[in-house]
Chains A and B, each alone.
Chain A
Amino acid sequence: MLRRTITASDLESPGQLAELLDREAYLAGEGLATAAFLALRMGRPLFLEGEAGVGKTELARTLAAVLDAPLIRLQCYEGLDGPQVLYDWDFARQLLHLKAAEAGGVTDAARLEGEVYDRRFLIARPLLRALETRPCVLLIDEIDRADVEFEAILLEVLSDFAISIPELGTIRAQEPPVVVLTSNRTREVHDALKRRCLYHWLEHPSFEQEVAILLRRLPGCSETLAEQVAKAAGRLREAGLVKPPGIAESLDWTEALLTLGARELDPGLAAATLGALLKHREDHETVLANGFFGEPRG
């Protein structure tokens, strides 16, 4: 089948988008497919919230693959500020230019200023790059890690899809990028930002979904193993652990089991590969002490 580029306006229904995501090995439920469909059709950012490892970041990656567009990723952290996310001037080159002009005997300040603040001395950071790349998917990952001040910057950009540079003028996106924001909900993001977005709470997958995802992503995985892993992961999510495993962890775990040549889950293998599933010492102790996977053989 010929592969042609798909744009937002080609999409007819959430179901169709779910099918396209499926082709890229991403299984989206009805809610997530509808959310992504509306984000594309309405040109609104999608705000995905949910526990770690439920596939928030992966959705942005897959959307980029479906739309055959580059993914521009902005990983948030504390202290992120304008010059790091919007644009910055290339000071070293500006200084060199000034020195060169000085050596050439140019002293006209107005002319120099015009030359120094030229687009070629401007370094585009992720947000500006996203406005200038068409089409693209902009992933603003873990926004809850950034400071509150950063949300104000983001609000401005996501409202008009434009960035004003005092020395240069306003740079506006000809076509708004597809924006996906993710949050692990370590703090509440400001309501003003949320109301610009479609809000979706992403849950852990159901047993059937998890089995389907494991089989879809790991071709070497047997149905028995997928069911056993999904069942164990589901039970662990109810076990009151410090960090319940997400679908990302059950995928890692299954891959670890497959690497060891497992066709079925047994207590010894489970204990040996537990580090792929649970990342806290306390959780290992809880699970092993309670004989969660049964007694190891031998």
Chain B
Amino acid sequence: MTAGELVTVMTGFARTLRAAGVPADHERTQNMMRALSHLDAARPGDVYWAGRLTLCASADDLPRYDRVFHAYFGGLRAGRARPAAVVVTRHTALLSRETGAVEEERPALSAGASATEVLRHRDVARMSAAELAEAHRLLALLRAPRERRESRLFRPSRRGRLDARRTIREALRRGGETARLRYRAHRTRPRRVVLLVDVSGSMTPYADTLLRLAHALVRSEPRATEAFSAGTRLTRLTAELRHRDPGTAMDAVSRAVPDWSGGTRLGEELRRLLTLGDARGATVVIASDGWERGDVSLLAAEMARLSRTAHRVIWVNPHKGQPGYQPLTAGMRAALPYVDDFVAGHSLAAFEELAGLLAGPYARRPREGRPG
């Protein structure tokens, strides 16, 4: 193979990888060619590793990389390395839908404060298509500031610890006289929120709205929010939800979620979440009806660990908003002892209440614009 042919073959390989979702962009492809120049391009193993080391950016890329490598280079031996995958078990058709009347037509909304007020308290599962669209529009406007916690970084302050750096600068400006001491104090930063949205069959009437809530939360604090879908397989959705436009974000989410309307294995997924480490010190919000299909004792054990690892655990159950609701499902009963706040999640008003919880007990009301 000539050098030109090699470039053609390898850029074709990178293009195929990109199509499969591996971030093998131009810069990474050049790195691959550079890596290959130090190795033996005639050896399949060297080609495999030159590509894998330069084109992949995460363990999630590796199965895709292996698949494409196999397909593209045919019988060449690919490495066997692969991170442990979560077992996907589908439980379709086990669950019945909660309400059949989602698409029931209602008269078109008349715009006005009172209509909005009624809408705020209505169960999203009982809304007409037009009402739901209006509710989603309002939901996109929801702002959820976060409770602040002390960071390890410092900022100048009037009180606090001595700031030697600024004191010296000041002294120099005065020709070496240390006239005034400067101080510094810890900065604050928003406490992270980790949101799990149950997208299993029993949550079908609420899943879309809850994912839109996730979008609003991610948009409010993009650097302090992680969102996942939960069903049979925990899937990180934060990147998809960063799109400004709710419609685009929802399209991206629906492509990313592998297990719509399946069963729920919350216990296993919480274990996965705890392994990922995102929950440590964060406020964890679980939006689910607690219809656990897996082992309930596992769910209880993982909830216990979660309550020790997370700063706070909030459980959002859409059914809690219905009059006379009792937490009767086995999963819900197992989880409740480890939940700090148990809130409803069926209406806009309930979501606003949740946003209030995330802002923390010392939250100030947003200022109505500054003078000057």
Residues of A within 8 A of B (CB): 13-14, 30-31, 34-35, 37-38, 41-42, 44, 49, 78-81, 83, 89, 91-92, 94-95, 98-99, 101-102, 106-109, 112-113, 116, 144, 147-149, 184-188, 191, 194-195, 198-201, 203, 240, 242, 282
Chain B residues whose CB sits within 8 angstroms of the CB of A80 once the complex forms: 152
Q: Which of B45, B54, B164, B301 contacts A198 (CB 8 A)?
A: B54
CB pair A242 B305 closer than 8 Å: yes
Known: A31-B49, A195-B57, A199-B53. A95 touches B178 (CB 8 A): yes
The reply to whether the CB of B276 lies closer than 8 angstroms to some CB of chain A is: yes
Known: A89-B165, A89-B168, A187-B277. A198 touches B53 (CB 8 A): yes
CB pair B152 A79 closer than 8 Å: yes
CB pair B49 A94 closer than 8 Å: no
The reply to whether the CB of B9 lies closer than 8 angstroms to some CB of chain A is: no
CA distance A107 to B176 in the complex (A): 7
Known: A37-B38, A41-B38. A144 touches B277 (CB 8 A): yes
The reply to whether the CB of B322 lies closer than 8 angstroms to some CB of chain A is: no
CB pair B168 A91 closer than 8 Å: yes
Chain B residues whose CB sits within 8 angstroms of the CB of A149 once the complex forms: 153
CA distance A199 to B50 in the complex (A): 10
The reply to whether the CB of B27 lies closer than 8 angstroms to some CB of chain A is: yes
Which residue on chain A has the smallest CB distance to residue B38?
A: A41
The reply to whether the CB of B59 lies closer than 8 angstroms to some CB of chain A is: yes
Closest 3 CB pairs of A and B: A79-B152, A186-B277, A91-B164
Chain A residues whose CB sits within 8 angstroms of the CB of B35 once the complex forms: 38, 42, 198
CB pair B168 A109 closer than 8 Å: no
CA distance A188 to B38 in the complex (A): 29
The reply to whether the CB of B177 lies closer than 8 angstroms to some CB of chain A is: yes
CA distance A98 to B178 in the complex (A): 9
Query: Min CB distance, B14 to chain A, in Å?
Result: 14
The reply to whether the CB of B321 lies closer than 8 angstroms to some CB of chain A is: no
Contacts A/B (CB < 8 Å), 21 sampled: A31-B49, A31-B52, A31-B81, A38-B35, A38-B53, A42-B31, A79-B152, A79-B153, A81-B152, A91-B165, A91-B167, A102-B177, A106-B176, A112-B176, A113-B172, A185-B276, A188-B58, A199-B53, A203-B82, A242-B274, A242-B305
CA distance A188 to B236 in the complex (A): 11
Chain B contact residues: helix, strand, loop or mixed: helix
Chain A residues whose CB sits within 8 angstroms of the CB of B161 once the complex forms: none
Query: Min CB distance, A168 to chain B, in Å?
Result: 14
Query: Min CB distance, B108 to chain A, in Å?
Result: 44
CA distance A171 to B247 in the complex (A): 49
Q: Which of A31, A79, A185, A282 contacts B151 (CB 8 A)?
A: A79
Which residue on chain A has the smallest CB distance to residue B45?
A: A30
Known: A31-B81, A38-B53, A41-B38. A187 touches B176 (CB 8 A): no
CB pair B164 A201 closer than 8 Å: no
Residues of B within 8 A of A (CB): 23, 27-28, 31, 34-35, 38-40, 45-46, 49-50, 52-54, 56-59, 62, 79, 81-83, 151-153, 164-165, 167-168, 171-173, 175-178, 223, 271, 274, 276-278, 280, 301, 305
Chain B residues whose CB sits within 8 angstroms of the CB of A187 once the complex forms: 276-278
Chain B residues whose CB sits within 8 angstroms of the CB of A91 once the complex forms: 164-165, 167-168
CB pair B46 A34 closer than 8 Å: yes
Query: Min CB distance, A170 to chain B, in Å?
Result: 20
Query: Min CB distance, B308 to chain A, in Å?
Result: 11
CB pair A201 B62 closer than 8 Å: yes
Chain B residues whose CB sits within 8 angstroms of the CB of A282 once the complex forms: 301, 305
CA distance A94 to B164 in the complex (A): 10
Chain B residues whose CB sits within 8 angstroms of the CB of A240 once the complex forms: 271
CB pair B39 A201 closer than 8 Å: no
CB pair B176 A102 closer than 8 Å: yes
CB pair A199 B56 closer than 8 Å: yes
Chain A residues whose CB sits within 8 angstroms of the CB of B31 once the complex forms: 42, 44, 198
CB pair A34 B39 closer than 8 Å: yes
Chain B residues whose CB sits within 8 angstroms of the CB of A95 once the complex forms: 164, 167-168, 171, 178
Q: Which of B28, B50, B59, B301 contacts A201 (CB 8 A)?
A: B59
Which residue on chain B has the smallest CB distance to residue A81?
A: B153
Known: A38-B39, A38-B50, A282-B301. A185 touches B59 (CB 8 A): yes
Known: A89-B165, A203-B81. A186 touches B53 (CB 8 A): no
CB pair B59 A109 closer than 8 Å: no
CB pair A186 B278 closer than 8 Å: yes
CA distance A95 to B182 in the complex (A): 14
Chain B residues whose CB sits within 8 angstroms of the CB of A107 once the complex forms: 175-176
CA distance A49 to B167 in the complex (A): 42
CB pair B50 A109 closer than 8 Å: no
Chain B residues whose CB sits within 8 angstroms of the CB of A98 once the complex forms: 168, 171-172, 176, 178
Chain A residues whose CB sits within 8 angstroms of the CB of B82 once the complex forms: 203
Query: Min CB distance, B43 to chain A, in Å?
Result: 10
Known: A38-B35, A185-B59, A195-B28. A30 touches B172 (CB 8 A): no
CA distance A83 to B163 in the complex (A): 13
Q: A89-B168, A147-B153 are in contact. List 10 more A-B contacts (CB 8 A).
A: A31-B49, A31-B53, A34-B46, A91-B167, A92-B164, A109-B176, A113-B172, A187-B277, A191-B57, A195-B57
Which residue on chain B has the smallest CB distance to residue A84?
A: B152
Chain A residues whose CB sits within 8 angstroms of the CB of B45 once the complex forms: 30, 34
Q: Which of B57, B83, B164, B274 contacts A194 (CB 8 A)?
A: B57
CA distance A199 to B56 in the complex (A): 7
CA distance A282 to B301 in the complex (A): 9
CB pair A112 B277 closer than 8 Å: no
CA distance A100 to B28 in the complex (A): 55
Chain B residues whose CB sits within 8 angstroms of the CB of A42 once the complex forms: 31, 34-35, 38
Chain A residues whose CB sits within 8 angstroms of the CB of B153 once the complex forms: 79, 81, 147, 149
CB pair B301 A116 closer than 8 Å: no
